[in-house]
Chain A
Amino acid sequence: MKRRFLNAVGPVAVFLAFIALWYLVAYSLHNNFSPASGKPMIIPPPHRLFEDFHGPIRDRIFTALLISTRTAITGLAISAIVGIVIGVAMAQAKWIERSLWPHLIALQVTPIIAIVPLMIRLIGANFTARVTVTVIISIFPIVSNTLFGIQSVHPSLHDLFRLQNSSRWVILRKLQLPAASPAIFTGLRVAAGLAVIGAIVGDFFFTKGDPGLGQLITFFFLNNLSGPMFITALLATALGLMLFICFGVINRIVIGRWHDSVAR
């Protein structure tokens, strides 16, 4: 109980310091660059964030949030399935691993800005293209962690199954996947963050189609709507956090019982 309390003190203190800094920056910018001119504040302080948050602006933000959430979650789900399948395939044979690895690295280091125009040309500025971008951005940690997790299975455990003449499928199901699941979950968590980035940054470059959070931030920025811009940014953070926490919870439920990294 006491420990719990102490664990919470740090993050809360940092959060409060951050809010204080926010006020400081908001008012010093305002006083230095647009003193008492009646112009809108460059950065609104926290308590004035919600001044413009009503009517069509609010509707647009919620619509954008919905679009980005759908993109991120769909992309993440596809990444998870395809990523685990690729990781498992790579773990089955060295030649598959060697054939795919350089391409995955290449995909991983290609910046979003280079991918989006290509996708728009190939697929169009639609939902499918956004999801594709999200998958490309988020799949790598799932593949690499699945592969790494399976490759780290203790050789004696493999021998144990081989001595019973178990098939590859049985070994995969009863040994490799369960043993790799902590690593896979770590990959999923990282991928969840990347999927949100993929959905939002990707959206930022999609100048056509229904706007998601990325496009909306740009729109508010260009129209000097600082309050809504900040709210949109905070929602983007919240979306990432939500997915991250979701996987933390699933992780705890699935492997928390037996794995040391989670269980206490």
Chain B
Amino acid sequence: MSVIFSAESAGLMYPDGTQALIDTSVKVAAGEFVSIVGPSGCGKSTLLRMASGLIAQTTGTITRTGTVQFVFQDSTLLPWRTVRKNVALNLELQKIDQRIINERTSVALALVGLTDSADKLPRQLSGGMKMRTSLARSLVCEPDLYLFDEPFAALDEFSRERLNLELRNMLSTRNAGSLFVTHSIAEAVFLSHRVLVMSPRPGSIVKEFVIPFGNDRDQNLRYTSEFAQVSGEIAQTLRELTP
């Protein structure tokens, strides 16, 4: 398994002196899905921003091979662009040939089930559809590493579970690695090969859970005793971290 992202003893102090991360080590291999859970303000977003190169670590080393796509918590669509033009944005910024952009955009739209809404504006979409558009915008680029910062946090339980499954299906045909930040333990367990638990600020990885399910998962998995067992252990770890 080739490692596409690794942070080794990485630390980050913001210019104002806030030590957000300390001695953080994370590895993500190609085709691997890794989730991060942790208390609010422990540095999860900071870790993702560091992984993407938006901010630089102040100590330790970060190694990244290949391209990155970032999926933000809010869908960050451009309100003056249609769904199609929003999905095409990243390709457009990479100055790719318009014909190829059109083709790949159509494929991505079909993948997230938005073909019929391609000409709508963001304000005409539901929260779930906005998030699908945002996912499509990242999927269309076929990066080597996906970074997700609580992408489904604003959705209702039902939409979230559906999108969890869809996301698994979308990623299943690719060999990209994913680093996924979430507040939902169930979501982390359902999606991931590994779940990492972070300590309160200054954040670092304190525990790793290997999720014992294969790649073939469906919604019923959520109601099995094994699922409850792992989720319970992670919840217990989180509770012990926050007094």
Residue B70 contacts which of A154, A160, A175, A257 (CB distance < 8 angstroms)? A160
Q: What is the CA–CA distance of A260 and B122 in the complex, to the nearest angstrom?
A: 11
B residues 27-57 with Cβ under 8 Å of A?
Answer: 49, 52-54
Residue B80 contacts which of A162, A170, A258 (CB distance < 8 angstroms)? A258
| B89 partner residues in chain A, CB cutoff 8 A | 160
A162 close to B54 (CB less than 8 A) = yes
B76 close to A154 (CB less than 8 A) = yes
- Chain A interface extent, by class: 20 to 34
| B79 partner residues in chain A, CB cutoff 8 A | 258-259
A156 near B: Cβ within 8 Å? yes
How many residues on the B side are at the interface (Cβ–Cβ under 8 A)? 21
User: Whole-angstrom distance from the CB of A32 to the nearest CB of chain B?
Assistant: 59
B94 near A: Cβ within 8 Å? yes
B93 close to A161 (CB less than 8 A) = yes
A-B contact count (CB 8 A): 49
A258 close to B123 (CB less than 8 A) = yes
User: Whole-angstrom distance from the CB of B56 to the nearest CB of chain A?
Assistant: 13
| A170 partner residues in chain B, CB cutoff 8 A | 93
| A161 partner residues in chain B, CB cutoff 8 A | 93
B74 close to A164 (CB less than 8 A) = no
B74 close to A156 (CB less than 8 A) = yes
Q: Dominant SS at the A interface?
A: helix
Residue of B nearest to A159 (CB): B54
A164 close to B76 (CB less than 8 A) = no
Residue A166 contacts which of B52, B54, B93 (CB distance < 8 angstroms)? B93
A159-B70, A163-B68, A260-B123 known; A178 vs B93 contact (CB < 8 Å): no
| B93 partner residues in chain A, CB cutoff 8 A | 161, 164, 166, 170, 174
B residues 76-130 with Cβ under 8 Å of A?
Answer: 76, 78-80, 89-90, 93-94, 121-123
A159 close to B121 (CB less than 8 A) = no
B78 close to A157 (CB less than 8 A) = yes
| A159 partner residues in chain B, CB cutoff 8 A | 49, 54, 70, 72
Q: Can you spell out 9 A-B residue pairs with CB atoms less than 8 angstroms apart?
A: A154-B74, A156-B74, A156-B76, A160-B76, A160-B89, A163-B68, A166-B93, A170-B93, A258-B80
Interface positions of A (Cβ within 8 A of B): 154, 156-157, 159-164, 166, 170, 174-175, 178-179, 181, 255, 257-260, 263
Interface positions of B (Cβ within 8 A of A): 49, 52-54, 68-70, 72-74, 76, 78-80, 89-90, 93-94, 121-123
